[in-house]
Amino acid sequence: MAKFKTGVETDRDPNQMREVSVEFDFTSNALVSLLYKQGDTVVLICVSKDARLPGWFPRDSTKGWVNAEYSLLPGSTDSRFRRERRGAKGRTFEIERLIARSLRAAVDLEALGPISLNVDCDILNADGGTRCASITAAGIALRLAVRRLIASGTCLPLEQRPTFEQSRAGFIPAALTGDAATAHENAVMEHDIAAISVGLIDGSTWLDLDYILDSNADVDMNVIMTSDDRFVEIQGTGEEATYSRAENDALLNLAEKGLAELHALQVSLLSDVN
């Protein structure tokens, strides 16, 4: 059992992930909702389809958009977190941008078609790694949203989409089924997206930082990757400390291990969900 400078102990091994669980369709109104737990960090994800594309898109656009919002709910932290009633700012705004661009990195917006999706990430309980848990959970929800849009006939390959005139006339195209639906899902999201935190504590690397680990870390790093081992973003920071190239590589190697586990979990969780 490791004991840290805060005097708090942990029984986790340095390369051990927190336990992950997912409950699908936690709420009934969203296109997709899921309750995602990674240790004691709990995130509610809801994916909604907007009525129209953002205003800056041309009317005849063939590509879509994915946006994200992130919020710590008041009871998610040990002292009440005040609601940001006038919009996200500071840390929240930075995390929202990170989540949104991470999701867009995993989506072919042309294959998605003229569809605008919003992904809401609400933190019900925060115990470290909230931005990483949000990205991993949102990646699961986004793939399921695409799957459901394909099943409803809303998301189609370019050559099968109705023209503007056909849509105005009320023409409803046939939905894709079977192998064709799977192929188009994989065209829209060829690879999954996940994120994990790692840290350097007293010279040792640790995986999947909860609050105890994060508060004791000399260096912490958030790593976002697609399931084909491509980096989206790396955020590494020394906390009143520096770190070497060798330590940087060790952190990335450990992050890749954790991300491989998360990507495998994503595939398993979605294997029989529609």
Q: Is the dihedral of CA 135, 139, 142, 148 positive or negative?
A: negative
162 or 262: whose pLDDT is higher?
Answer: 262
Burial (0-12, 13-18, 19+ Cβ within 10 Å), 234: middle
Are the C-beta atoms of residues 75 and 27 closer than 8 Å to each other? no
Which tens digit of pLDDT belongs to each residue from 14-27? 999 999 999 999 99
Q: What is the mean pLDDT of residues 265-273?
A: 95
Q: What is residue 12's predicted lDDT score, i.e. its pLDDT?
A: 86
Which tens digit of pLDDT belongs to each residue from 167-202? 788 888 888 999 999 999 999 999 999 999 999 998
Amino acid found at 263: H
Of 104, 121, 88, nearest to 54 by C-alpha is 104
What size, in residues, is the chain? 274
Of 178, 181, 81, 171, nearest to 130 by C-alpha is 81
Mean pLDDT comparison of 4-8, 60-64, 216-220, 223-227, highest-scoring range? 223-227
Q: How far apart are CA 95 and CA 84, in angstroms?
A: 14
What are the b/e assignments for 169-197, b being 16+ CB within 10 Å? eeeeeebbeeeebeebbebbbebbbbbbb
Which tens digit of pLDDT belongs to each residue from 138-156? 999 999 999 999 999 999 9
Q: Considering the chain, what percentage of its residues have pLDDT values greater than 70?
A: 95
Q: What is residue 165's predicted lDDT score, i.e. its pLDDT?
A: 81
Residue 224: band (very low, low, confident or very high) from pLDDT cuts 50, 70, 90: very high
Q: What is residue 72's predicted lDDT score, i.e. its pLDDT?
A: 77
Q: What is residue 11's predicted lDDT score, i.e. its pLDDT?
A: 83
Is 8 a residue whose pLDDT tops 70? no
Q: What is residue 91's predicted lDDT score, i.e. its pLDDT?
A: 80
Q: What is residue 9's predicted lDDT score, i.e. its pLDDT?
A: 72
CA angle, corner 15, sides to 220 and 249, nearest 5? 55
**Start-to-end C-alpha separation, the chain:** 42
Is 164 a residue whose pLDDT tops 80? no
Give all domains of the chain, ordered by start, each with its CATH number: 2-270 (3.30.230.70)
Amino acid found at 94: E
Which uninterrupted H or E stretch holds 149? helix 130-151
Structure tokens at 54: 């953002």
Which tens digit of pLDDT belongs to each residue from 95-133? 999 999 999 999 999 999 999 999 999 999 999 999 999
Q: What is residue 194's predicted lDDT score, i.e. its pLDDT?
A: 98
Q: What is residue 87's predicted lDDT score, i.e. its pLDDT?
A: 64
Of 92, 125, 131, 153, nearest to 233 by C-alpha is 131
R_g of the chain computed on alpha carbons:
20
Mean pLDDT score of the chain: 92
Is 218 a residue whose pLDDT tops 70? yes
Beta pairing class for 65-72 and 116-125 = parallel
Q: What is residue 85's predicted lDDT score, i.e. its pLDDT?
A: 65
Q: How far apart are CA 58 and CA 261, in angstroms?
A: 40
Amino acid found at 211: Y
Q: What is residue 239's predicted lDDT score, i.e. its pLDDT?
A: 84
What are the start-end ranges of the E strands in 126-187? none
Structure tokens at 229: 């081992």
**CB proximity list for 65: less than 8 A, separation 6 or greater:** 53, 54, 57, 109, 115, 116, 117
Are the C-beta atoms of residues 229 and 142 closer than 8 Å to each other? no
pTM for the model stands at 0.92
Residue 75: band (very low, low, confident or very high) from pLDDT cuts 50, 70, 90: low
Q: What is residue 229's predicted lDDT score, i.e. its pLDDT?
A: 95
Q: What is residue 148's predicted lDDT score, i.e. its pLDDT?
A: 97
Is 1 a residue whose pLDDT tops 70? no
